[in-house]
Amino acid sequence: MNKILVIGGSKGIGNAIVNALVSEHQIINISRTAPLQTHNNLTHYNCDILTDDLPEIDKIDTLIYCPGSINLKPISRLKLDEFRNDFEINVIGAVKAIQQYLPALKKGNHPSILLFSTVAAKLGMPFHASVAAAKSGVEGLTKSLGAELAPTIRVNAIAPTVTNTDLAAKLLRNERLIEGIKERHPLKKFLDPKEVADLASFLISNKANSISGQIFELDCGIVSFKI
């Protein structure tokens, strides 16, 4: 049973990851609100990653950083503070967590770090300037730390397309928008959080021990195909 630290596991993709792993691993969740589910293997710390001191943890095998943002506006309406806030949530929070728990990871069993990007970092999309810039920082962090921490700690990231979570609720708020998003994807679908959790489960497992510094586009074909 590995000890897995999830930052932001109370909702969305983070919560799907907690659900996927909690029966077989010891899960420590850090978020501003507690997950709805309870389990003997789940420990929760109520904490804001950006403003609060993080709890001391002696040893962990995996760090998964899930917080993100979807702030979609024309560049003329985006304030500089919005760019700063998106960068803080997506990049600075991840750096803070990694710096805090790097000693604990180094004591772990085949330790790994998993971060999250977005398809918008590679696929130019209108109104995505702030989130794409921030998530591009996550991708750079993934590759740089993958090199720096090798061979001890593996570092990878998942770049999902639209996923059915509270964060994406505005994009999926009615049937017309839902059908439009499906139609834009070559596989004619968008993601369920469980699909992202399945890939996350693989990437932190020993089956992925030869994979580091990679960005995995879980994209329903939208980045790779033009159909």
Q: Please, what's the largest Cα pairwise distance for the chain? A: 50
Taking residues 179-189, what's their average pLDDT?
A: 94
Residue 51 lies in a domain: yes
The pair of three-digit structure tokens given for residue 105, joined into one six-digit string: 């990871």
- H/E segment holding residue 181: helix 175-184
Residue 211 lies in a domain: yes
Residue 146 lies in a domain: yes
Spatial contact of 14 and 114, defined as CB atoms under 8 Å apart:
no
Domain count, the chain: 1
* Tens-place pLDDT, residues 55-102: 999 999 999 999 998 889 999 999 999 999 999 999 999 999 999 999
Give the CATH number, domain containing residue 155: 3.40.50.720
Asked if the peptide bond before residue 151 counts as cis, ω within 30 degrees of 0, the response is yes
pLDDT at 226 over 90: no
Q: Say what the pLDDT of residue 70 is.
A: 87
Residue count of the chain, please give it.
Answer: 227
> Measuring CA to CA, which residue among 119, 103, 188 is closest to residue 153?
103
Enter the DSSP assignment of 204: T
Averaged pLDDT of the chain: 96
Residue 99 lies in a domain: yes
Cα atoms in the Cβ-side hemisphere of radius 13 Å centred on 10: 14
pLDDT at 205 over 90: yes
Residue 183 lies in a domain: yes
Q: What is the 3-class SS of 123-166, one letter each residue?
A: CCCCCCHHHHHHHHHHHHHHHHHHHHHCCCCEEEEEEECCECCH
* Tens-place pLDDT, residues 107-150: 999 999 999 999 999 999 899 999 999 999 999 999 999 999 99
Instruction: Give me the domain span that covers residue 51.
Output: 3-218
CB-based burial label for 200 (10 Å; 0-12, 13-18, 19+):
buried
Q: Could you give the percent of the chain with pLDDT greater than 90?
A: 91
Residue 90 phi, psi dihedral angles, 5° rounding: -85, -35
* Tens-place pLDDT, residues 138-180: 999 999 999 999 999 999 999 999 999 988 888 888 999 899 9
The pair of three-digit structure tokens given for residue 3, joined into one six-digit string: 């000890």
Please state, as a whole number, how many other Cβ atoms lie within 10 Å of the Cβ of residue 176: 8
Residue 101 lies in a domain: yes
How far, in Å, CA of 204 to CA of 112, rounded? 6
Q: Say what the pLDDT of residue 167 is.
A: 83
Residue 157 lies in a domain: yes
Residue 227 lies in a domain: no
